[in-house]
Structure 1
Amino acid sequence: MIRLLLPLLILTAAAFPAAAQNTQAPEAAPSPAIAADQVSDSDDRAIAQRIRAIFAQIDSLRAIRVDVRSGVVTLTGSVANAGDGDRAEAIAARVAGVVTVENRIDRDLAVDQNLTPALGQFGADMRALLRALPLLGVAIGIALLIGALGYLLAGRDRFWRWIAPNIFLAELLQTSVRFIFIILGLVAALEVLGATALLGAVLGGAGVIGIALGFAVRDTADNYVSSLMLSLRQPFRANDHVVIEGKEGRVLRLTSRATILMTLDGNHLRIPNSTVFKAVILNYTRNPERRFDFDLGVDADDDPIEAMRVGLAALAALDFVLDTPKASAVIEQVGDSNIVLRFFGWVDQQHTDFMKGRSLAIQATKAALEGAGFALPEPIYRLRFDEGTPLPLTRAGGSGAGQRKPRAATPGGDATDTRPESHIEKLVAEERAEGGENDLLDESKPVE
């Protein structure tokens, strides 16, 4: 039984490839050719008549002569446009029974043959334009009407400033409304003209140009967005004493392009808003209480704890030094010849100028330490003398030797006046009162 089934299985396996070959998809049929009077033979005369009949229906191909021999088509004559010769060759090649096409068509360079068709086409275009003028006028009128409506709506300054948090954002919204209505007017005009397909090409080209311009004006766009964010966040107020990227001054105004400071020297400083938005901003005005510090050294043999007690007592005696937080002191460094002490104190900048207060605090602490017998040592230098080098000798003088310079009297008057300097603040207030560029700082908005 097995011997009978084995040959049967082998024959069945061999039959499957043949069946698969027979079930393959048929090849794609070639594109249908132009029939020559619906005849099946490739008669040269029928082919020539068919090609001449086709050329007779095309004005630019009527002058072409056709000769057919054994299925080979030869085209002769002249045409005004080189493209017409290629067109005639392509048409002849599609006729059934054509083996190949010999293109011997020459370009006719005669002025009348080339100028007359161009003038005729130009005249036809002008006539078509004249017929389309009424429709074109209607389309332009619709576009202008929609654009004017957009400008009218965007011109309502009071409305946009009511819905926007600041002037800068209101102007941005107004510009966006104008642009949107212009696009809507253009779309409506093209819809009337039946050329909406042109809009896609225009917008596509505008998108590519926009990307290129975006890379070209990247810094300008960055600065514009930074201006918008600063106007919303309000990081400082006018007349605040700030330090931005190492630049110190009082805030004059925030414009759509830059933050303007008045330096402590009375000069104008413009910082791009992109720099301000990314910078670390130090604001001395937000918290009026500010800490100062300074270093003083005492002799290495002195008691540093006692020196700190004396110095802190001197700071506490100053009326401009705040009691809370209290003044403090630490041992900053122990050197070969001295011990460096660092003192800390707090002042209220609304009533005390920071630099003046610090200066008087240093003077008072130094005087207290010297009055308590603490020496403020001078630096010690070690000198080496080479052998055989004579030392310069000076004769010890009379009055200058061994005498100590008398201590200067305690300063008074303007030197002890710690009131804040208000000249820069007045200059800022006067310039802000004069107006100028639009200020994006808004006192009614919360500060970040």
Structure 2
Amino acid sequence: MQELLSKPLFSIGDKFDVTLSQLLLAILFIIIAALFSHYFSKFITRKILAKFKMAEDNLVILKRLIFFILLALITVTTLSFFNVPLTAFAFISGAVAIGVGFGAKTVMDNFISGWILMSERPVRINDIVEYEGHLGRVIEVGNRSTMIKRIDGAHMVVPNSSLLQANLINWTLVDPNIRTSVRVGVAYGSDIEKVKAILEKILKDHESVIDDPAPAVIFEDFADSALVFDLWFWATVGAVRELRVIRSDIRFSINKHFKEEGIVIAFPQRDLHFKFDDQANFPISISDQRSSKKPNNGEKGDE
């Protein structure tokens, strides 16, 4: 066994022979170096660099830089310690280059795209993005792919090259503020100035609605059954579901205040008018009129 391990596998020039034991030990130490670099970089970023309150995506970039630098240094040191020159792996690098050219093109494309994403930073961890019609939050930017958690809880694994080339909407790239709207319709005959004042107060009192840009109450339309108002506002959002919660809170508040002030939230209604002929027992004409007023149970329709 010892003879097999000490037997030269190949020679580099005329001066150096690489034995099986040297090659196996070098590979073993490189694997150990990779594990050590991974856990050490993870320890440095979470226990030391995290105390400086850096952004999470910056910590990920630093973690990867520390990992690759440590791996390169330990690998070169290990090979030098066992007197194995780097040229001993020239044949391996040649085989890897051929594999990259034919079978690993997509992997390398995604790997390079991942570093481009981390350097240009069009997408960061915890950003709210919209990708191919799916809204979600970025939870990881990896070497090969980016993971997006959709609003329904499902996780999307998107290749970095696809993400880099897609028409991506990043709702929180510059700041965490997102504009949204809530629509409500009131019955015809309502005091619209009073409605506007109530809606403006609701927006002003909500803690997540920001003042700059200022929220706005828009009288949108004279609809068939309602006077339609749109509430446009900007809100500070930390997660995808928070935007839905904010809109829900505002709708609860609208319903409460309108009830207190006696303002009717409109809903579609129809009044049917039948006209009977004196000589017949069946209607000769029917007229259809839409209304948004409250039905009065004490009144009868036209006969």
What secondary structure is seen at the aligned counterpart in 1 of 2:235? strand
Conservation of the 8 A alpha-carbon contact between 2:107 and 2:144: no
**Does residue 1:368 correspond to 2:253, yes or no?**
no
Q: Supply the AA of the counterpart residue of 1:316.
A: K
Shift of 1:271: 1.7
CA contact 2:184–2:228 (8 Å) conserved in 1: yes
Confirm whether residue 229 of structure 1 aligns to residue 99 of structure 2.
Answer: no
Deviation at 1:311, TM superposition (A): 1.6
1:402 is matched with 297
8 Å CA contact retained: 1:330, 1:343: yes
Q: Paired residue for 1:278, among 155, 165, 175? A: 165
Partner amino acid, structure 2, of 1:402 = N
Q: Distance in 1 between matches of 2:246 and 2:207?
A: 10
Matches of 2:255 and 2:67, distance apart in 1: 56
Structure 2 residue aligned with 1:379:
268
Q: Percent identity?
A: 22
Whether the 8 Å contact between 1:289 and 1:347 is mirrored in structure 2 is: yes
Shift in Å at residue 342 of structure 1? 0.2
Equivalents in 2 of 1:322, 1:225: separation in Å?
Answer: 39
Cα distance in 1 for partners of 2:235, 2:192 equals 25
Residue in structure 1 matching 2:233, options 338, 345, 357: 345
What is the aligned partner in structure 2 of residue 355 from structure 1?
Answer: 244
d(CA) in 2 for partners of 1:185, 1:167: 27
Change (3 A) 1:389 1:242: farther
Q: Which residue of 2 aligns with 1:243?
A: 130
**CA 1:239–1:289 in structure 2 vs 1: closer, same or farther (change >3 Å)?**
closer
Is the contact made by 1:169 and 1:228 (CA closer than 8 Å) also made in structure 2?
no
Secondary structure of 1:141's counterpart equals strand
**2:177 corresponds to which residue?**
289
Amino acid at match of 1:251: V
1:228-252 deviation per Cα after TM superposition (whole angstroms, max 9, x unaligned): 3223334444444443333344433
CA displacement, residues 404-427 of structure 1 (integer Å, 9 cap, x when unaligned): xxxxxxxxxxxxxxxxxxxxxxxx
* Residues 168/183 of structure 1: CA separation in 2 closer, same or farther (3 Å cut): same
Whether the 8 Å CA contact 2:8–2:17 is kept in 1: the answer is no
Checking the alignment, whether the CA contact within 8 Å between 1:329 and 1:341 is kept in structure 2 is yes
Matched with 1:129 is none
Question: 1:331: which partner in 2?
Answer: 219
CA–CA distance in structure 2, aligned partners of residues 233 and 372 of structure 1: 53
1:242–1:250 contact (8 Å) kept in structure 2: yes
Shift of 1:335: 1.9
Using structure 2 for the length normalisation, give the TM-score: 0.53
Per-residue deviation at 1:296? 0.7
**In structure 1, how many angstroms separate the alpha carbons of the residues matched to 2:65 and 2:154?**
27
Q: Any conservation in 2 of the 1:142–1:185 contact (CA below 8 Å)?
A: no
Q: Cα–Cα, structure 1 residues 318 and 226, in superposed 2: closer, same or farther, change >3 Å? A: closer
Q: Does the 8 A contact of 2:100 with 2:108 survive in 1?
A: no
What do residues 292-313 of structure 1 show as CA deviations (whole Å, max 9, x unaligned)? Answer: 3101112344454442223212
Any idea what the Cα deviations from partners look like across 1:34-93, whole Å, max 9, x if unmatched?
xxxxxxxxxxxxxxxxxxxxxxxxxxxxxxxxxxxxxxxxxxxxxxxxxxxxxxxxxxxx
Contact 1:315/1:364 (8 A) holds in 2: no
User: What do the CA deviations read for 1:307-344 (whole angstroms, capped 9, x no partner)?
Assistant: 22232123324444434443211122222332211012
Unaligned runs of 5+ in 2: 1-6, 42-60, 80-85, 284-295, 299-303
User: Per-residue deviation at 1:273?
Assistant: 1.5
**Alpha-carbon offset, residue 263 of structure 1:** 3.8
Spell out the pairing of 1:41-440 with structure 2 (5 A cutoff): 140-142=10-12, 166-167=64-65, 170=68, 181=87, 213=102, 219-279=106-166, 280-284=168-172, 287-349=175-237, 353-381=242-270, 402=297
**CA distance 1:390–1:274, shift in 2 (3 Å):** farther
Query: Which stretch shifts more, 350-359 or 308-317?
Result: 350-359
| Superposition deviation, residue 218 in structure 1 | 5.1
Letter in 1 for 2:227: I
Larger strand fraction of residues: 2
CA–CA distance in structure 2, aligned partners of residues 292 and 210 of structure 1: 47
Helix, strand or coil at the partner of 2:143:
coil
Q: How many angstroms apart in 2 are the aligned matches of 1:390 and 1:181?
A: 104
Change (3 A) 1:312 1:281: same
Q: Distance in 1 between matches of 2:131 and 2:282?
A: 58
State the 1:220 CA deviation. 4.0
Q: How well do the aligned residues superpose, as a CA RMSD in angstroms?
A: 5.0
Structure 2 CA distance for partners of 1:141 and 1:356, relative to 1, 3 Å: same
